[in-house]
Structures are given as structure tokens and as C-alpha cells.
Chains A and B, each alone.
Chain A
Amino acid sequence: MSDHKTMTLTLIVWRQKNASDPGKFETYTAKNITEHHSFLEMLDCVNEDLIHAGKEPIVFDHDCREGICGMCSQVINGAPHGGQDRTTVCQLHMRKFKDGDTIYIEPWRARAFPIIKDLIVDRAALDTIIQAGGYTSCHTGGVPDGNAILIPKPIAEEATDAAECIGCGACVAGCPNGAAMLFTGAKVSQLALLPQGRAEAVARVKNMTNAMIECGFGNCSNHYECMAACPKGVNVKFIARMNREFIKAQFA
């Protein structure tokens, strides 16, 4: 444990007052950072300094700080979530950086995610996609016993792989077209794989796809940048499954 070794870093951070402000990069210095600081704790330190100096701290979304709520959302040196395998921004640690490094920090950039302030964007469009059909229409109560629906382990596991999506939107931010195919494909696939979801599969894939287009998300041209950006390792095979479901739906 080398707590005595500290780093000094140069941060080049996107600052934008509100949606209509053009925004610009500002440069800050992060001092006394140890390798044990998480990336967000490093930003906390910079913010404490800014507050003491009477300046406006950098605002960014975060909540759980353990990689599960999907709130944190920053592009670091060009990579959503910083580009470390299966890691969200809040799980990133400063030991991945060196003393003297310069770090670029930007918000998610996508047509469907307007910037609210600094690094915070509006991701309500992802909720809109789920509202269009990302559910089974069961009522509270009046459902069969849990074991009345048998789901063999491999299918349950594959549905869980898709269900691991945390709704962060990194796939959209990473996609050159700003598409939400991985996010939507994951939900469509989870429910299409499970018997409980089959009854509404046709309407679901149509409605969610339409919502995706209406919200201003782009098209998929098979770059697979989404999968590279995804902190939960959601697989592009779920996009293929959604496409199959979509084609099937045209004939249903």
C-alpha cells in the first residue's frame, strides 16, 4: 500500500451551464490523488477545491457508486465509462492512471440525450422505450404459481445475461449513429426468451422499435462499439435476436 505516493493530474472537463449554452472545455488540476481513489472520488476532491475557491463545482450524475444503478455517465479520454472491461465510471480507480496524465472528461453525446448541465444528460428516452412495451401485462395478484412456468436453467441464464443491462446509455454514447439497439435488444430478448413474455412478443418488438426511432436514436450499422462500451458485457447477439423478432413480427 503506497498511500504516500500521490499523483497530480490535468483534467480537461466539458462545462456547460444548460441545454442552450454552447459549452466549452475547462482545465483543472487534481492534486494529492492516490492510487486508491476511485475516479469519482478524484472528482470529489477537485470539486471540494473548487467550492473552497468560490467556484462552481463540476456536476455529474452518480448514486450507488458500485456499478449497478446506471446513473454515472462520463466519457473519459474518448471512451464511455473509461474503456476498462466491464467497469462503470464509479468502479474505475486511479491506479489505472499515472502521475502527470492529462484526462479528458465529457458527457454522453447523442442526439437523444440532451445535455442538462456539465456532465449530466437527459436519458428519459430510455424510459420511453421501456414504457412502449418492456414489460409483461400481468396484473398484481391473480398470477400462477412460480413453478407452474418451467424455465430450464440455460434459458433462465441467457435471459439473465440480457437482463443485466443497467440502463446507463453507454452503448448509445459509444455508437457512431447514437443507436439504442443494444439497450432495446437486451430488453426485447430477455422477455422473448421467457415463456411469460411470448404472448406479447409481436406487439412488444414493434412498439419498442417505433419508440426508439421516435426518440431520435440512430440506426444500427454493425459497428459493435456498443458492446465495447457496455459495462455489463451485454452481447450484440441480443441485437440479432431483436432483429429476428422484428422480422417475425412483420409476418404475424
Chain B
Amino acid sequence: MILDGKCPTGPIEKSWDKHRFDLKLVNPANKRKYNIIMVGTGLAGGAAAASLGELGYNVKAFCYQDSPRRAHSIAAQGGINAAKNYPSDGDSILRLMYDTIKGGDFRAREADVWRLSQVSNNIIDQCVAQGVPFARDYAGYLDNRSFGGAQVSRTFYSRGLTGQQLLLGAYSALSRQIKAGSVKMYTRREMLDLVVVDGVARGITVRNLVTGEIESHAADAVCLASGGYVNVFYLSTNAKGCSVTANWSAAKKGAFFANPCYTQIHPTCIPQAGEYQSKLTLMSESLRNDGRIWVPKKKEDCGKHPGEVAEADRDYYLERKYPSFGNLAPRDISSRSAKEACDDGRGVGPGGRGVYLDFEESIKRLSEDTIRERYGNLFEMYEKITDENGYKRPMRIYPAPHYAMGGLWVDYNLMSNIPGLFVLGEANFSVHGANRLGASALMQGLSDGYFVIPYTIGGYLVTVKPGSVKNDHPEFKKSVEDVKTRTNKFLNINGKKTVTEFHRELGKVMWNNVGMARSKESLTEALKVIPQIREDFWKNVKVGGSGTDLNQQLENAGRVADFLEFGELLTRDALHREESCGGHFRTEHQLPDGEAKRNDADFSYVGAWEFKGNDKEPELHKEPLKFETIHLAVRSYK
């Protein structure tokens, strides 16, 4: 099937304004007759629930944590982009759009990216009005910093806490609506199934994580804003509870999964210290402004104290390979280079999986105080985890899974191929193409939540009669039964391996075979091994406790079971995409200098997969990409 993104036609500059005008409006008096379900209350879902509630809709919002304030958006450090052009350094909506399309290696839809860039400015205003304390200068004006992939200074920030402050802004708007009664908040609930009646999304089935009760909720539209899926690699910078479960439950009901193989591996994370490790911690990319990355030239030197490795025996490999960008080469390139050095046996630290990020030279040039002023909190964070002093000894860093560019397929209205099912934020695939630039995920989440869905959902709702399906419909009963059956299945296997052991096992395969560098061979092997792990899981997993109680083993079992299916789809997508682009690097497809080699003739499309069960091949649907405003070009950072 050829998919239609339903993008507006005509001049790009007018596309969103025209589309908004063309959308039918819901009569204000009728809005409260409509029920909307919002799964997830991070930046995307929180902003959307608050805005929809304020418009007069009845919103039911769900999250798995004990409060909407804890969604993983909270962990974003760096900042949020906007095309305000406050510094007058040549920024514009068109330039932000250009940088985003190029950064994504020409694998995103132009109209969506234009809209994102256009509303980016409204986001900053909105957050300021909420009381988000952005950094200011002494005269009181908003301050900006620079981020990767851009030549202008367009990133707004609040210390190293931008995500926290933006989320607390959305949470405060949401809290106001909860108080007003327009949003009903269901915390500690996990969505486990999507209910589809006659091809239309009509509700969800959730587990109450405290009592174990399985509940049905019906609505006129369902929105998923459930975040990203890189915990499929087990170790990542995501929170422990992040999963693909909400998205995957929709995929199992027919929603197409787009570009699952586009995953971002962030170059600067604290390396794994041991087998017991439960997550990885990001160190802001900004450190690369003053830190130099190196490994020893000789394998024998890897065990030495870094101070004992002579200057001539150090390989500053990014400076060597990318003389003009040096240590500031883009994320995908820097990550791959670190892997190559370690694969070559020249990695440092436990297991040889680390490279040095060295501040000695900048400390000499600028003084330790200057470095402390710039990055003090990061050095402190590093020391808390590693017990090493980054001022005295180079930091050790290594790449880690960080962000999912892929997600459920949506059209320009953020509606999936299932009518009535909308997808927002990191959970959808829309704007980042094959690689996301820094400071643009926060922008997307808030754009979708505050400024897109409040308009586009109305265009759908006017076509449906409110409340036409209730949760006593047989499909809801069936869904509850299905969830209960699966819960009992987990509890009755009573095997020998824990859920975490299976998750680690899957993670290792995904990381080694489907990680930073992928080949036909590694992917084919993964496609053999993943189903074996899955089969073993369903025979041999041990989940204790009961289904009618707070049971964290059971929660994790469901998430890992879904990753074991989804991981296979991700791998299949990576195998089918015979090109390298952005975060997807196929070793067979590289330019002579080792850079990613895109294949526009054959792969300039969104690959959206229809899942058909574990025993059948998924079906690929394509949405061709057109580039009319920004012209296709080779991405070069040399």
C-alpha cells in the first residue's frame, strides 16, 4: 500500500495556516460531549491533555508513574530550539526547517518540519507565561546557547534542567485542568491494549498497578504520547519504566510502525561499569566544546594511567578524521568512531569500552575555574557515579542508546492509519527523519501537544457521533479477557530465569548486532536469535507474586515480552533498508571515507510496517518523500 501523509499542498510558508483554516471546528457547546483518552503525560501528552481540557473536551489522562510530573521528559538537560532569532544571527523558520531536514539526513516530511519550525516560537512564549524560568541575561532578556547541527544560536535553556522545567510547566497547566475537572488523571496505570471497534479506535485497557485491576476506558478518540522505545537495548539513557508497550499494543491492533530502525546512539555517556548495571547516564554533549577525545595509539597503553601515556602516543581520532569539525562532529559519526577505536582494542576502562574526554588542555588555557563555571554540575554528576575527578583525570565516555526517531506512523494530522488513534511526541515517527538534532525533541513534544493536536483532533471529532461506543461493548470485554489471560500466562510459567535476565540477553543481541553499525550478516543473525530468546522466555521465565497486587515483576514481564516482538521488527526494518542514513549505518553502504551512503533512488520513503503476528512476515507500506523546498544533498560534516 502507498501511504498518504495528507500534507497540505501549495506554498510551504502558508501550509499550516491554510490547513488550520480548512479544518472543521467543533461547536464549543458540543466539545464537552466528546471524551478523549491521553496515554502519557510527558511533554507531549501533558501539554495536549491540558490544552484539550481547556478547550472544553473531557480528557482522561494516564501515566505509569505516581505523578504526571515524573515522565522521562524530566531528564532532558540541554535545551529547546526555537526560530526566534533574538540574537539576530540570521535564524528564521526556514533555516530551522532546513537544519532539521538536513540533520535528519533527508528522511522526514517537509510539511511537518515546516509546521514544527513555525510553532517553535509560540512554545517559548507559552512556557514563559507559565513561569518556566529560562536563563536570562542581566537586562532580563532570554538567553540562548548553540547546539550541534546549527550555525545559529537558537537554543533556550534553564541550567542543565530544561526538560524538568518545561515538564513542570506542562504539569502545572495540567494540574489546573485537573482541578477544574476537565481532565481526570489516572496515575499508576499502564495501557496494555488498544480497543478497536469496526476499524476505529474506541478505547484502551489498562492495568491498575496498585490493585492489579484490569480496567476499560472508552472514548471518541485515543491519543498515545507514551515516549520512546530505546530500552529495547536494555541499557539506555531512558528511565527504567520506558517501554514500547503502549505503541506495540496499537501495532498489534493494526497501527503501522514507521522506521523502527532509526535509533539514536548518543556519543557522550558514562560507560557501563559492570554486568549488574541497570541504566546509562548521559553527559551533556556540550562538554565536547572544551574536551578533547582520544584513545591510546598502542594497545599496551590502554591499561596505564592516562597521565602516563605520552602526548605522541595519543590518538585524537575525531580531530584526525574530521579536521574541520573535530570533537564537535555530529552524534552518529562520533559514536561510530568511538566504537571503531574500541573494536580495534584501544578502548580504556573496564572491558575496554570507553574513550577519554580530556579537559587538561582547556584547563591550562582557560583555568579550572572557568571549566567549573561552564560544566560544574556535569563534573559533579560524573564524580558521583564513577568516583573520579574529571578535572584531574580525563573522563571516560562511551556511546549509549538514547532516542527513537521511529514510532507509529501518523499523517499530517498526527492520526495513525487507525481512525481515531492519534500519536504524539517521541512515540510517533514524524519530524526527525533518520537522526534527531539536539534540542529538538522537547520542541516536537510541545509543538504536538500545545499547538497541533488541539486543532487537528477537532477535524476528526466532527466526523464522529460522541459516545457512540461504550465500554460495555463486547470488544472491551474481549480486550480485558485477553489481558487477563496474558497476565495469568506470565504467572503460571514458573521457569528458571528472571525477566531482567531475558531483557539483558535481548539487549546484548540488539546492541551487538543492531546497534551503531549493522550489516546483513549481523542482522540476519539477530533475526535468528531473537525468536529463540522469545521462545525461551515464554517457556522459562519466572514471574512470582500475584496479578491482583502491586507486582513489579509482572509489569516488567509485559514490557520485555513486547520488546522481544518489537526487537525483531526493528531488526527487519534495518535489514530491509539497504542504505546508510543518519543513525542507521549499514557497513555495506559507506562512502570510501567511511561516511554514510544514502540511496535516494530506492529508499527515499517512510517504511511503515504492518505487524501480522510472530509467525508471519510483517508487511511493508511505503510513504514516498518529496523534497520541494529543501533540496536533496549529501550530508557532509568534514
Contacts and interface: CB of A to CB of B under 8 A. Distances in A.
B86 interface: yes
A140 interface: yes
Given A149-B128, A194-B133, A134 B172 contact: yes
Interface stretch (B138-146, B257-265, B334-342, B413-421): B138-146
A65 B139 contact: no
Contacts of B86: 147
Interface in A59-78: 59, 61-71
A41 B128 contact: no
B544 A150 contact: no
A116 B210 contact: yes
Interface string A146-169: 110111110010011001101100
A39 to B, nearest CB: 11
Given A51-B498, A93-B385, A117-B550, A130 B140 contact: no
Interface in A38-54: 38, 40-41, 44-45, 48, 51-52, 54
A190 B133 contact: yes
A156 B498 contact: no
A64 B175 contact: no
Contact of A136 (B130, B185, B210): B130
Nearest to B172: A135
B140 A153 contact: yes
Contacts of B210: 116
Given A52-B498, A130-B172, A190-B131, A141 B66 contact: no
Contacts of A191: 131
A153 B137 contact: yes
A111 interface: no
Nearest to B53: A140
A159 B240 CA distance: 30
Given A48-B498, A63-B240, A116-B210, A87 B161 contact: no
Interface stretch (A29-37, A98-106, A239-247): A29-37
Residue of A56, A160, A190, A194 ringed by the most chain B CB atoms within 10 A: A160
A87 B276 CA distance: 21
Interface residues of A, number: 76
B118 interface: no
A147 B142 contact: yes
B134 A63 contact: no
B278 A41 contact: yes
A18 B387 CA distance: 38
Interface size class, chain B: 35 or more
B225 to A, nearest CB: 15
Majority DSSP secondary structure for residues of A touching B: loop
Contacts of A63: 65, 70, 72, 239-241
Given A132-B179, A134-B172, A71 B385 contact: no
Contacts of B2: none
A54 B496 CA distance: 10
Contact of B126 (A91, A138, A159, A163): A138
A71 B70 contact: yes
B594 interface: no
A170 to B, nearest CB: 15
B134 A131 contact: no
B129 interface: yes
Residue of A45, A51, A120 ringed by the most chain B CB atoms within 10 A: A51
B609 interface: no
A167 B69 CA distance: 8
A86 B17 CA distance: 48
A190 B139 CA distance: 19
Contacts, number: 212
A22 interface: no
Contacts of A48: 498, 500-501
Contact of A41 (B66, B276, B553): B276
B552 A57 contact: yes
Contacts of A123: 66-67
B526 interface: no
A63 to B, nearest CB: 4
Interface string B106-147: 000000000000000010111111110111111111100000
Nearest to A71: B70
B544 to A, nearest CB: 6
Interface in B167-182: 168, 171-173, 175-176, 178-179
A135 B278 contact: no
Contacts of B279: 65-66
Contacts of A145: 125
B154 interface: no
B178 A131 contact: yes
A176 interface: no
B75 A140 contact: no
A35 B276 CA distance: 12
A218 to B, nearest CB: 21
B66 A71 contact: yes
Residue of A54, A87, A127, A150 ringed by the most chain B CB atoms within 10 A: A127
A65 B133 contact: no
B11 interface: no
A37 B75 CA distance: 21
Given A56-B544, A68-B161, A135-B130, 15 more contacts: A36-B273, A59-B550, A64-B239, A69-B72, A70-B69, A71-B70, A127-B68, A130-B171, A135-B173, A140-B173, A143-B126, A150-B139, A160-B165, A166-B164, A197-B131
27 contacts: A3-B350, A38-B278, A51-B542, A52-B542, A56-B544, A65-B281, A66-B381, A67-B381, A69-B65, A69-B70, A91-B385, A116-B550, A120-B550, A127-B185, A134-B175, A135-B131, A138-B173, A140-B50, A141-B126, A141-B450, A146-B84, A146-B124, A147-B86, A150-B139, A160-B158, A163-B168, A194-B133
Interface of B: 47, 50-51, 54, 65-70, 72, 74-75, 84, 86, 122, 124-131, 133-142, 158-159, 161, 164-165, 168, 171-173, 175-176, 178-179, 185, 187, 210, 239-241, 273-274, 276-279, 281, 349-350, 381, 384-385, 387, 450-451, 454, 498, 500-501, 542, 544-545, 549-550, 552-553
7 closest residue pairs by CB, A with B: A150-B140, A135-B172, A143-B129, A138-B129, A140-B51, A156-B136, A146-B128
